[in-house]
């Protein structure tokens, strides 16, 4: 989070800010996610990439419960082994959550992860 952590008043590293009842919770998630990093989205039936700052976001409290300031410049990616959990796979396949959020799903990426040992 780096500079954003200070602007959002997240405690110093490692710091946790629970959003419930805060001003940030009632603001657009864009305040947190607005970067030039691309995000895939469905526009007119086509998957396109747009900078995150150009995307209309819901309220922060509708996206996350809290913000965790780990370290400036550090990215935390999920361990791919989580996708090997049969219950989690079933949930991903059944509801296709990403499809409801972005207008397309990541099932092919899940299958690719599962194909590797």
One domain for residues 71 and 15: yes
Whether residues 85 and 52 share a domain: the answer is no
> 48-84: per-residue pLDDT in tens?
888 887 888 889 899 888 887 766 666 667 787 887 8
**Statement to judge: residues 57 and 22 lie in one domain:** yes
State whether 82 and 72 are in the same domain.
no
Co-location of 62 and 6 in the same domain: yes
Are 85 and 68 in a shared domain?
no
The whole-angstrom separation of Cα 103 and Cα 80 is: 23
Whether pLDDT at 4 is above 80:
no
Instruction: Give the three-state DSSP class for 86.
Output: helix
For helices 107-115 and 86-95, angle between their N-to-C axes, nearest 10 degrees: 160
pLDDT value of residue 90: 80
Same domain for 82 and 25: no
Tell me what pLDDT residue 2 has: 47
Tell me the pLDDT band of 11, cut-offs 50, 70 and 90. low
Regarding predicted confidence, which is higher, 101 or 15? 15
Same domain, 58 and 93: no
Same domain, 84 and 108: yes
Domains of the chain: total = 2
């Amino acid at each position: 989070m780096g500079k954003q952590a200070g602007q959002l008043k997240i405690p110093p590293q490692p710091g946790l800010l629970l959003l419930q009842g805060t001003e940030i919770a009632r603001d657009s998630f864009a305040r947190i996610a607005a970067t030039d990093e691309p995000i895939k989205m469905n526009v007119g039936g086509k998957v396109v990439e747009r900078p995150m700052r150009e995307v209309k976001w819901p309220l922060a409290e509708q996206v996350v419960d809290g913000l965790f300031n780990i370290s400036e410049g550090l990215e935390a990616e999920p361990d791919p082994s989580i996708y090997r959990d049969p219950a989690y796979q079933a949930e991903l396949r059944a509801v296709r959550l990403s499809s409801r959020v972005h207008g397309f799903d990541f099932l092919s990426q899940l299958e690719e992860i599962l194909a590797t040992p």
